[in-house]
Amino acid sequence: MRKAFSLIELSIVLIIIALLVAGVASGSKLIANGERQKLIKEFDLDKSNLTTFLTAYDGYPGDLVNASSYWVGATDGDGDRIVMDSGEELNYWNHLELAGIVTLNGLYNGFPTVGSSVLTGSMGSKGLRKRAYNTSNYSSFYTLNVHMVHYGSGVKTDDKFFVPKESYLIDTKIDDGLPKSGDMTIRIAGTTTDALCTNTSSAYYLASDAIGCNIVIYNGL
């Protein structure tokens, strides 16, 4: 005759299960936090890379007017110190690589059309992509007339990629914790909507677990 489990044995089993569940949850949080920290470091590196290029060549990557005199086959910019969505952003990452400041190793996912220059970003294998240009001629940004790096999904990185709480946790680490002000904001474009990311407010939509935000980072110049 098979002996039944005692209450003590059942209690031990339940405790073990609870510990395993807690361990998995804790591990998931650690992984997510690690990805956020990696992305924050990437923000800082993008700023540093731009500063390094500007110091060395007295111009902006992609916009450098005499790029072809430094590197055979490079495309020159117009030299107005504004990296625009007119072909110059297509050469932003390329100029940085030619200068030996970054090594793309196949991560450059540029397309031969204006406004479609994207680069694979951090956040593990989730498919985050980024592009860089100036916001001078756009009304869809909350910070205008600055150079920025845009993180999201889709061909032009406009599409949503982050859960609002994820964006909020990053924002509070590096900026003011608000999606429409400061050095880190969102952009209402593509599949990123005000309703999904902020619940049409001035704060992140923290009650939502749905992906709804992209990220725009001012890169210091």
Could you identify the residue written with the tokens 């869809």? 140
- 182 domain-assigned: yes
What is the radius of gyration, based on Cα positions, of the chain?
22
Q: Is residue 15 part of a domain?
A: no
Give the pLDDT confidence score for residue 35 in this predicted structure.
86
Instruction: Classify residue 201: in a domain, yes or no.
Output: yes
Domain residues for 206?
32-218
pLDDT at 2: 56
Residue 206: what pLDDT? 97
Domain count, the chain: 1
pTM more than 0.85: no
**Count, residues in the chain:** 221
pLDDT value of position 174: 93
Q: What pLDDT does 113 receive?
A: 42
Position 97 in a domain: yes
CA 189 to chain centre: 15
Contact 61, 131 (CB under 8 A): no
Whether 129 maps to a domain, the answer reads: yes
- Domain membership flag for residue 152: yes
Handedness of CA 135, 141, 146, 148 (dihedral sign): negative
97 by Cβ neighbours in 10 Å (0-12 / 13-18 / 19+) ranks as: middle
Give pLDDT, residue 201: 96
> What is the pLDDT, as a whole number, of residue 132?
84
Q: What are the pLDDT tens digits along the chain (221 aa)?
A: 556 567 777 777 778 887 777 666 556 667 678 888 888 998 898 899 999 999 999 999 999 999 999 999 899 999 999 888 777 887 888 899 899 998 876 555 554 344 445 677 777 546 788 888 888 878 889 988 888 888 998 877 889 999 999 999 999 999 999 999 999 999 999 999 999 999 999 999 999 999 999 999 998 77
19 in a domain, yes or no?
no
Tell me how far apart the alpha carbons of residues 176 and 143 are, in angstroms, rounded to a whole number.
14
Q: Is 194 exposed, middle or buried (0-12, 13-18, 19+ CB in 10 A)?
A: middle
Residue given tokens 């609870």 in the structure block? 18
Q: What is the pLDDT of residue 112?
A: 39
Question: Do 119 and 61 contact (CB within 8 A), yes or no?
Answer: no
CA distance 216 to 180: 10
Q: What is the pLDDT of residue 105?
A: 63
Which stretch of DSSP H or E encloses residue 178?
none
Distance spanning both ends of the chain, measured CA to CA: 79
**Domain annotation covers residue 161:** yes
Q: How far apart are CA 197 and CA 186, in angstroms?
A: 8
